[in-house]
Structure 1
Amino acid sequence: MSSIRIREIQPDDNEQMAKVLRTVLVEMGVPKVGTAYADPSVDQMYEAYQQDRAVYFVLEQDGEILGGAGVAQLDNYEGPVCELQKMYFLKEVRALGLGQRMIEACIEKAREFQYEQMYIETMPYMKQAQKLYVKNGFKYIDAPMGDTGHSACPVWLLKDL
């Protein structure tokens, strides 16, 4: 078994990545409306990140996609703020330090893209994810920023880059 690597998403990854996202969201009990589950981009992740100052990374092992995360301009927000988007991993690869590696790759790219802050929305019961965000310098904020369409996500965090 070869090692797991982080790489940029490719067009052939769309189907596997959509399956991973929906599997994790259902497993976590995330509402299908008002969250990433309903995003039209889920089935076309490669195409969704073919814009300026955006990237989506996948975790890949032997041709199998195990998770991913991306960075893009925060929707409906003026200013140099990106959003850490769709960071999800299959349960068999959680707690292996891969989330840390992925978030580091996303932060590095966000800095390259000259964003000044990184924003994320999540669910209250996603405690492990929140621990990872706080460990990496994210701080809780009192209200959402921009308009991501994820009205069902009531936890917001922001990090200065």
Structure 2
Amino acid sequence: MGETMNDLIKDNIDLHASVKTRKEALYQMSTMLEEHGVVSDKDAFYQAILDREAIGPTGMENGIAIPHGESDVVNDAAIAVYKTTSDLEWDSLDGNPIKLIFLLVVPTKGRNVNHLKILSRLSAALTHKDVQQELLSEDNVTDFKKILEKAGGM
């Protein structure tokens, strides 16, 4: 049995994140990833995310953003999830604010094909409006992960 989306999320999830800006959310997520040993340097990883954000919008539609950072300070591929208690301004495709962030964490070295498959499955799952609505309305971590597993075919 290969890794699942939830194997990549582990404890890197907060469904009640109190942040006011995109940068604050991304910095707090970087800090959480450092605390969990996923990245070795939160500041370097945060800068990698900002560099990627500058290239093009990571805000999708319907309140969801999928930013990502690729860096050699990443110890393991991971997905961090934040659901915010207030709407965040984000450069999204539909121009609407964001409430749900899936941060893709990618190591520069030792990239794993399975991780890329999981990340593409996550992106595909998040294009479904019913999945988006379920995730946006779910506040329980266990149930949230079950929705993701089902949606991602994991």
TM-score, normalization by structure 2: 0.32
**Which structure is richer in relative contact order (CA contacts within 8 A, separation 6 or more)?**
2
Bigger strand fraction: 1
TM-score, normalization by structure 1: 0.31
